[in-house]
Amino acid sequence: MKRKILTVFLTLSILIISACGGNETPTLSAEDQANTAVAEAWILITQTQAALPTSTPVPPTNTPAPTFTFLPTIPILATIAPAETPLPTQDTCNQPPPVKPQGAQVNVDFTNQSDGQVNLSFGMNTPNDVKECVTYTFTMGNGGGVLEAKVLAGCYWGYAWVSGKEPSTARTGDILLCMTDTSGTYHIVITKESINFK
């Protein structure tokens, strides 16, 4: 019940806020896009962990259903002032890759030199010529492993959570990794702190 109320409240809030927005579409830097993807990935990881069943050593007992006390409703008056600056919209490039990509693809080898397990978010900065703009997620085992992948041609930011003895984050920072040549293979190295071409 709480989840339904929260969903309705958030939907109404988004509709009200979006009605007050300006005409201009804000642009995000590569680092802002990476941070947004990181936040959304953590939400997905948290929701996945919360949805996993837990084992109970003792069989559950019948618990009586909670009783509800109805309170009188009080009307709430609110005024919403128009926003002076446009609010950011959801990043169009923070989408899962399509099952059958329409745009050109490139081959990439990711090498893990971080001495830990890597959870990598690898996202496009701008849409390709057929309006595809996606964020890939990859997981690599402890140090020294190479992961071969095929991704849409374009310019990418990268952000990785590195677990191990000394957990860290690796990122491309303000640099974009542009990969448009479909004839070869791009080699990308992930260390404890950086993601860059080999």
Domain annotation for the chain: domains and CATH numbers: 105-197 (2.60.40.180)
Residue 104 confidence (pLDDT): 95
Give pLDDT tens digits for 182-194: 999 999 999 989 9
Backbone angles phi, psi at 188, to 5 degrees: -120, 135
Q: Who wins on pLDDT, 59 or 120?
A: 120
When pLDDT is averaged across residues 170-181 and rounded to a whole number, the result is 90
pLDDT band at 84, cuts 50/70/90?
low
Q: Who wins on pLDDT, 80 or 49?
A: 49
Strand partners, 156: 124, 177
- pTM (global) more than 0.75: no
Q: Output the average pLDDT for the chain.
A: 78
pLDDT band at 2, cuts 50/70/90?
low
Dihedral Cα 26, 194, 117, 30, nearest 10 deg: 10
Contacts 24+ apart (CB under 8 A), 16-19: 16/80, 17/83, 17/87, 18/87
Residue 87 confidence (pLDDT): 45
CB 113 within 8 A of CB 67: no
User: Cβ–Cβ contacts within 10 Å for residue 178, how many?
Assistant: 13
178 pLDDT higher than 70 = yes
Residue 85 confidence (pLDDT): 46
157 pLDDT higher than 80 = yes
Backbone angles phi, psi at 31, to 5 degrees: -70, -40
pLDDT band at 78, cuts 50/70/90?
very low
